């Protein structure tokens, strides 16, 4: 009956160079019942490219020359024990990441013993043999996906919580590439043609850093042999992605109000921390944000929500690549002045060192718990691993936790000296028109 707690074994990570700028990362984490296998292609975030890359992820998961219809492709995925195809773009600072991945059960739980090889072949088919006609992507699929991507870009407004934060960032970073949405914009989208997209796709396969990441109950040597047998690459010079600019001294705070037909106002604040992820004070800036608004023990939650009953949600978080500290909350529109005042009061409190050793300790425990629990999720672990690749860091989870635990109260106060409010954005209800 007694089951001894076996302590977590650190994952075994192996990195192999496959070609110029193409690396295979094999991460052995045998406790999961599935494996994840993905291509991660890095591009500079630019308005000319963003919509093209987004459209490519949609076309690749629609069909290929071997599976010309959605039905054909999904029948195959069902037969591969409900393999899940994930294909989308995301934004990490000034990098736009093109993800193309599959998740599938481990062979030990299913009769199909060659599943890894079959999944590799499927990815090869989808990425390297798309459904082209002539010198471009298939026109019918292209038009369908273009229409839906335009619809998706427009429907950002449907989710007010996320949309209001995006608007705050766009306002704050109006002269920086970071303002670009991960899906680009409708103007750029409408300039794309099936053939311009095909050339672009061929270009990014040649010129981008490509990481192939495999996580799960795998044998690294076996993975390497199969990956090398399956893929071959045509490579040229690799496009360089510059480190984000993150030092922006603020002269005047920008205030922006936008009106919508809503019940609840969304108050978002954008701060510049001026502290980069490799700066010695980075972890102190992270702790600043946690003491300020990271979870139920933070100053914002305890005071603005619990004490003043002004909101249901209020939080602060750090954007690693651009060194932003973002605060969000949902409030009654008439409470704008009061809530803003209270949020800034708590900000000043942390800045002035008006927090206890206990509050800092709780913040460390909160971060430690969320980092350690990444060991228990394949997707979180991959996200953590890839974020480190993009920032050229090589912490393992324990090292990171240790370095966070070493942050002192004085360092948090020191970090606070650099953090400046840049933008206050309020998405509010339309004013009633007197009749």
Partner 1 sequence: MIKEQYNALLDERLYRTTLDNGLEIIILPKPSYVSTHAYFFTQYGSNHNQFKVGQKEYNMPMGIAHFLEHKIFEDSEKNIFEEFAKMSGSVNAYTNFVSTCYLFSCTDRPQDNLAQLMKFVQSPYLTEENVEKEKGIISQEIRMYDDNPDWRVYFNTLQAMYHHHPVKYDIAGTVESVKATTKEDLLACYNAFYIPKNMKVVVTGNVDVNETIETIKKNLQSSFTNPTEEVKVIMPDEPQGVSQTKITEEMEVSVPTFYMGYKDVQGGLEPKQLLKNGITTSLLMDVVFGKSGALYQKLYEKGLINNSFGYDYTFEKGYSHALLGGESKDPDAAYNLIKEHLYSLKDESMTKASIERTKRKMIGRFLSAYNSIDYIGKSYVGYLNRGLDLFDYLEVLQGLNQSDFEQRFTTLFAADNSVLSVVKSK
- Report the site for partner 1 in 188-247 (rule: CB under 8 A): none
Taking CB under 8 A as the criterion, the residue among 55, 214, 311, 382 binding partner 1 is 311
* 313 near partner 1, judged by CB under 8 A: yes
Taking the complex as a whole, how short is the minimal distance between the CB of residue 364 and partner 1, in angstroms?
10
- Write out 385-408 in H/E/C secondary structure: HHHHHHCCCCCCHHHHHHHHHCCC
Taking the complex as a whole, how short is the minimal distance between the CB of residue 378 and partner 1, in angstroms?
6
**What is the per-residue binding string for partner 1 in 107-136, x denoting contact by CB under 8 A?**
--xx--------------------------
Count residues contacting partner 1 (CB under 8 A)? 77
Q: Of residues 52-91, which lie at the interface with partner 1 (CB under 8 A)? A: 69-71, 74-75, 77-84
Task: Tally the residues of the chain.
Answer: 435
Contact range with partner 1 by CB under 8 A, out of 175-183, 201-209, 305-313, 342-350: 305-313
Interhelix angle 336-351/409-416, nearest 10 degrees: 130
Q: Are 386 and 213 in contact (CB under 8 A)?
A: yes
**Residue 306 or 410 having the CB closest to partner 1:** 306
Which tokens is 221 given? 């040597």
Taking the complex as a whole, how short is the minimal distance between the CB of residue 192 and partner 1, in angstroms?
17
CA distances to 258, 259, 262 from 432, rounded to whole Å, are: 15, 11, 12
**Residue 155 or 199 having the CB closest to partner 1:** 155
Taking the complex as a whole, how short is the minimal distance between the CB of residue 224 and partner 1, in angstroms?
24
* 174 near partner 1, judged by CB under 8 A: no
Contact range with partner 1 by CB under 8 A, out of 201-209, 225-233, 307-315, 342-350: 307-315
Residue 259's nearest CA partner among 435, 434, 425 is 425
* 139 near partner 1, judged by CB under 8 A: no
Q: Are 311 and 342 in contact (CB under 8 A)?
A: no
Taking CB under 8 A as the criterion, the residue among 234, 251, 252, 261 binding partner 1 is 261
**Residue 19 or 144 having the CB closest to partner 1:** 144
Non-local (6+) Cβ contacts of 186 within 8 A are 150, 153, 154
**d(C-alpha 292, C-alpha 329), whole Å:** 13
Taking the complex as a whole, how short is the minimal distance between the CB of residue 322 and partner 1, in angstroms?
27
Taking the complex as a whole, how short is the minimal distance between the CB of residue 105 and partner 1, in angstroms?
5
**d(C-alpha 45, C-alpha 90), whole Å:** 10
Contact range with partner 1 by CB under 8 A, out of 184-192, 256-264, 382-390, 409-417: 256-264
Taking CB under 8 A as the criterion, the residue among 96, 171, 366, 428 binding partner 1 is 366
Q: How many H helices and E strands in the chain?
A: 15, 13
**d(C-alpha 243, C-alpha 340), whole Å:** 33
Taking the complex as a whole, how short is the minimal distance between the CB of residue 259 and partner 1, in angstroms?
10
Taking CB under 8 A as the criterion, the residue among 11, 136, 368, 383 binding partner 1 is 368
* 435 near partner 1, judged by CB under 8 A: no
**Residue 309 or 394 having the CB closest to partner 1:** 309
Q: What are the φ and ψ backbone dihedral angles of 369, each rounded to 5 degrees?
A: -65, -45
Taking CB under 8 A as the criterion, the residue among 65, 258, 312, 393 binding partner 1 is 312
Which tokens is 118 given? 């079959």
H helices within 106-248, ranges in order? 115-128, 139-154, 160-172, 186-191, 194-207, 220-230
**Residue 122 or 281 having the CB closest to partner 1:** 122
Place of tokens 């079959």: 118
Q: Are 76 and 67 in contact (CB under 8 A)?
A: yes
Q: Of residues 318-337, which lie at the interface with partner 1 (CB under 8 A)? A: 330-332
* 372 near partner 1, judged by CB under 8 A: yes
Residue 315's nearest CA partner among 161, 157, 91, 427 is 161
């Amino acid at each position: 009956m007694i089951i001894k707690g076996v302590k977590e074994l650190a994952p075994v990570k192996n990195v192999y160079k496959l070609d110029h700028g193409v690396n295979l990362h094999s991460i052995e984490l045998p406790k999961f019942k599935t494996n994840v296998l993905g291509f991660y292609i890095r591009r500079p975030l630019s308005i000319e490219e963003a919509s093209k890359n987004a459209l490519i992820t949609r076309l690749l998961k629609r069909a290929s020359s071997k599976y010309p219809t959605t039905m054909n492709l999904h029948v195959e995925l069902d037969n591969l024990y409900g393999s899940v195809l994930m294909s989308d773009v995301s934004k990490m600072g000034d990098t736009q990441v093109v993800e193309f991945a599959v998740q599938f059960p481990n062979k030990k739980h299913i009769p199909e013993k060659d599943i890894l090889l079959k999944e590799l072949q499927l990815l090869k088919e989808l990425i390297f043999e798309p459904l082209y006609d002539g010198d471009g992507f298939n026109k019918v699929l292209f038009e369908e996906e273009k229409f839906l991507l335009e619809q998706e870009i427009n429907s950002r407004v449907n989710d007010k919580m996320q949309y209001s934060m995006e608007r705050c960032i766009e306002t704050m970073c109006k002269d920086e590439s970071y303002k670009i949405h991960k899906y680009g914009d409708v103007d750029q989208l409408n300039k794309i043609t099936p053939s311009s997209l095909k050339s672009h796709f061929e270009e990014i396969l040649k010129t981008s850093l490509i990481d192939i990441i495999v996580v799960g109950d795998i044998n690294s040597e076996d993975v390497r042999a199969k990956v090398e047998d399956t893929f071959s690459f045509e490579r040229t010079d690799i496009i360089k992605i510059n480190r984000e600019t993150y030092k922006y001294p603020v002269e005047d705070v920008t205030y922006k109000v936008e009106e919508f037909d809503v019940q609840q106002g969304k108050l978002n604040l954008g701060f510049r921390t001026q502290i980069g992820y490799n700066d010695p004070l980075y972890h102190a800036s992270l702790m600043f944000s946690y003491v300020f608004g990271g979870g139920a023990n933070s100053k914002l939650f305890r005071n603005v929500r619990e004490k003043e009953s002004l909101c249901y949600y209020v939080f602060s978080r750090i954007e690693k690549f651009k060194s932003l500290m973002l605060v969000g909350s949902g409030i009654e529109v008439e409470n704008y002045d009061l809530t803003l005042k209270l949020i800034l009061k708590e900000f000043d409190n942390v800045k002035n060192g008006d927090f206890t050793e206990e509050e800092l300790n709780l913040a460390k425990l909160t971060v430690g718990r969320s980092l350690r629990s990444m060991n228990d999720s394949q997707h979180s672990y991959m996200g953590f691993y890839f974020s480190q690749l993009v920032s050229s860091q090589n912490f393992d989870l324990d090292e990171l936790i240790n370095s966070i635990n070493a942050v002192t109260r004085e360092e948090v106060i020191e970090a606070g000296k650099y953090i400046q409010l840049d933008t206050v954005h309020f998405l509010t209800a339309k004013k009633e028109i007197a009749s």
